[in-house]
A = this chain, B = another copy of it.
């Protein structure tokens, strides 16, 4: 299985701390040796770094740790290949432009019958179930919403419906963004934490590293992190429910959609 890491923040924030722990799993403490990628939204722009090699040995990954890129939204992925061989074209995150916005997508899980998901506007470059599902998802959204909608909740509801259909094909944990919102959808495994004042200390589960967030933040900062598994061992992470979609904006949850059958 692959692993996901996402961030939503109300101030440009670097993800060096979480990413350090996360990428240690990429061939270090974890089995995810088949590539990694990370995408940053900065001032309306977008860039990603992807490498089809284990993240623990990647000079590009080291650069990301050492050269803090400050961003409102981050999506990262480390890969353990199942469908599609190990190569750059199969390395998450994937991106497509819709409405003049760069949409970014990373998937954890495995689908069956994905080949018959009909494609319209967008086509995969590589050969993974993940990118095929992304192209289907974006094509469906574009057909429903040829233009950006005034009422975001229509869009969010649409994203949730499409995610639920993909969950019907197997395991579909998702991070998705258009640069304005971060979407996290849980099929089997995703957890999140929101850090805000008063800030405390955190220690990574996968590497010998502590951080005192008080030293790196101002009292108004709100920074949320979403990950397949909690990245720290001394904080309380919240596990998402199967079928749950969370919509994040500036570090806060602004939309929440549950599977129809879910009871809490």
- Cross-chain contact of A46 among B42, B46, B47, B88 (Cβ < 8 A): B88
Candidate in A50, A52, A89, A99 with the most chain B CB atoms within 10 angstroms: A89
Copies of this chain in the oligomer: 2
A77-126 with Cβ < 8 A to chain B: 87-91, 96-97, 99-102, 121-126
Total number of A residues with any Cβ neighbor in B under 8 Å: 32
Main secondary structure of the interface of A (DSSP, over half): mixed
Contact of B87 with A46 in the complex, beta carbons under 8 Å: no
A12-44 with Cβ < 8 A to chain B: 42-44
Contact of A125 with B101 in the complex, beta carbons under 8 Å: yes
Contacts of A63 in B (CB 8 A): 59-60, 63
Residues of A whose CB lies within 8 Å of any CB of B are 42-50, 52, 59-60, 63, 66-67, 87-91, 96-97, 99-102, 121-126
New A-B pairs, 6, CB < 8 Å, besides A63-B63, A97-B125, A100-B125: A44-B88, A44-B89, A45-B89, A60-B63, A97-B123, A99-B123
